Amino acid sequence: MKKKMRVLWLSAIACNGNTHSFLNYPYMEQFLDDFEFIYHPVIDSEYSLEDIVSKEIACDILLIEGAISKEFKRADVSVVEIIEKYSKIVKKIVTVGTCATFGGIFRESGYEETSGLHFDQEEPLKTHQDLLDKTISVSGCPVHPEVLVNTLYAIKKSVALKLDNFLRPKEFYAYTVHNGCTRNEYFEYKVDNHRFGELEGCMFYDHGCQAPFTHGSCNKILWNEVNSKTRAGLPCMGCTEPAFPRQNLFSTKKNMAIPENLPVGVGKRVYLTLAGISKAFKIDRLEKKLFDD
């Protein structure tokens, strides 16, 4: 029998959303042929959580889900202690989801110094610097199952993934969520009359869509293999980014009618010039219903 990679899935301050997102991975049978969990929140494992915290079980990859605070305990042991113990013996550490990477929603849950493993939102932390070389971040609330699983395969195959400043694989996070959105034309030509409940329109102008300045592959690899939030008509909430969750998520923050956050790398002056020109198009096809009578 071939040797499987041994994975420890450790939850800190979490909702288990990443756990259940992972269960949506379509080729689970193949995955379970190649990997085994020494502990997982719902999949049966050879060891109990009590074993994990009281002993040192051989392991190749440590997966951390949830925001991290030394005050938060699992089976009566601080998650930081568990992380420190296993990070010494594993080949790689993966922070799964936005909480484990940046702190996320549960950064505010009231535990002492709650953050991601290496970042407190966008701020790099001074702690655990010795682990930086070992860590890969796969942010997202939740993580996309394919992003997680393929990252694990990269580790298994010793592929040197190129990482961004937040240790995220560029393969998945070099794109913006905007790439591949079916509503792109409304954005390109500045058709700004989006209303909820319609196939038409772009949520960037009024409804808070963060897709043009959020890194992720949501519209490239799609969710549940069928759709994405923005395609469905829900603004991107920027859930892969350090600042998630921002405030007033359903409305676009503007200064003098210009969205405060512009697409990645786009300057305000150029944006204004371009928007002015684009608006001049007045494309009939995009002003009407998509399925016109």
Partner 1 sequence: MIKLIEKIEGEAKLNFNFKEGRIDFVDIEFMSTRNIENILRGKNAFDALVINPRVCGICGHAHLIATVQALESCYSNLKLSNKAKIIRELTLNFELIQNHFKWFYLTMLPLFGHKQEILKATYPSQLMGKAIAIFGGQYPHTSYAVVGGVVCEITQMDIVKLEHYISQTSKFVEENLVKTDSEIFLTCKDADALLDYEGDLPDILREIKKEGFLEHGKSYDRFISFGENSYFKKGKSLKAKVTHNISVLHVKESEMPSSFAKNVSFKDKYYEVGPLARAMVNKTPLIADAHKKYGDSIFSRILARVCEISQLLQHSKELIKDLDLSEKSYIEPSIDISKLSSSGYSAVEAARGTLIHKVEIENGMIKNYEIITPTQWNLSGGTKDKQGVSQKAMIGLSDVKTAELVFKSFDVCSVCTTH
Interface positions with partner 1 (CB under 8 A)? 11, 13-21, 23-26, 28-29, 32, 41-44, 48-50, 72-76, 105-106, 108-110, 141-142, 195-199, 218, 223-234, 237, 239, 245, 247-250, 291
Q: Which is nearer to partner 1, 190 or 194 (CB)?
A: 194
CB of 46 to partner 1, least distance (A): 12
Q: Which is nearer to partner 1, 50 or 123 (CB)?
A: 50
CB of 120 to partner 1, least distance (A): 16
CB of 164 to partner 1, least distance (A): 23
Q: Which is nearer to partner 1, 32 or 272 (CB)?
A: 32
CB of 60 to partner 1, least distance (A): 20
* 3-class SS string, the chain: CCCCEEEEEEECECCCHHHHHHCCCCCHHHHHHHEEEEECCCCCCCCCHHHHHHCCCCCCEEEEECEECCCCEECCEEHHHHHHHHHHHCCEEEEEHHHHHHCCHHHHCCCCCCECCCEECCEECCCCHHHHHHEEEECCCCCCHHHHHHHHHHHHCCCCCCECCCCCEHHHHCCECCCCCCCHHHHHCCCCCCCCCCCCCCCCCCCCCCHHHCECCHHHHCECCCECHHHHCCCCCCCCCCCCCCCCCCCCCEECCEECCCCCCCCHHHHHHHHHHHHCCCCHHHHCCCCCC
Q: Which is nearer to partner 1, 92 or 101 (CB)?
A: 101
Q: Which is nearer to partner 1, 29 or 133 (CB)?
A: 29
CB of 128 to partner 1, least distance (A): 22
